[in-house]
Amino acid sequence: MPVLFETHYHPPIAFFGELIGNQTLWLETQEHYRKQTYRNRCLILTAQGVKPLTVPVIDGNRSEKVLINAVEIDYRQNWIHQHWRTLQTAYGGTPYFEYYADYLHDIYVQKPRLLFDLNLAFLRFYLRCLRLPLSLQLTTEYLPSYPSFLPHVPTASVLDRRDWLTPKTAEPDRKSGKSYRQTFGKDFVPGLSILDLLFMQGPAAGSFLT
């Protein structure tokens, strides 16, 4: 069954868990940008606990009236350096940080103008890392809800997961995946970015999604 999601910045592990067993991922391109969501934010684990990393966008207050595929990243702020230093501090000692670091850094330094393009570049990378050979499709019109099918793919039902995952609400009933050893704390912390799982489990990360 095709799955419909909005784009996320370093998506949560649950995002990828929902893709298991599916062949097609549709990404919403015609919605309006929404602040304080995973569209420009991810959650990582640090020595001080869970920390959000947020990509600044130009005219943040007014950007909610802009289509997601037109929202521009604000490079006037030194956010890449801040995010990268935070990732190095939090995960530099993990088993697989060096394994993925160069690939991730290469995407950052390309400095795509649009938030959508940055998220898409990271998403393609993660799908390869997790060995999820999905067909990636982009919507061409916005529908508030999908009764049971995509209008441009009338024979296929669709699982609408837009705004199913948010940083501010408790996680929904979902494919939670397996717990794994994390860098800090004694209790397992759910709801983190896929980065946390990749840096700890490397090529075996895909086996922790179900």
Kindly indicate the confidence band of residue 92, based on its pLDDT and cuts at 50, 70 and 90: very high
Residue 155's pLDDT is what?
Answer: 45
Residue 137's pLDDT is what?
Answer: 95
In this model, does residue 39 exceed pLDDT 70? Answer: yes
DSSP letter for 146, please.
Answer: -
Least confident of 83-87, 119-123, 171-175, 176-180: 171-175
Percent of the chain with pLDDT over 90: 80
Who's near 39: CB < 8 A, 6+ residues apart? Answer: 6, 7, 8, 9, 33, 68, 115, 119
- Residue type (1 letter), 173: D
In this model, does residue 41 exceed pLDDT 70? Answer: yes
Residue 62's pLDDT is what?
Answer: 76
List the beta bridge partners of residue 46.
49
pTM across the whole model: 0.92
Query: Residue 86: which region, alpha, beta or left (left: phi > 0; alpha: psi -120 to 50)?
Result: alpha
Q: Which among 49, 41, 13 has a CA at the least distance from the CA of 197?
A: 13
Q: Provide the residue ranges of all domains of the chain, joining segments of one domain with +.
A: 3-208
What digits encode the pLDDT tens for the residues 134-190?
A: 999 999 999 888 755 555 555 457 889 999 999 976 555 445 578 999 999 889 999
What string of DSSP letters covers 89-136?
A: HHHTTSTTHHHHHHHHHHHHHT--SBHHHHHHHHHHHHHHHTT--PEE
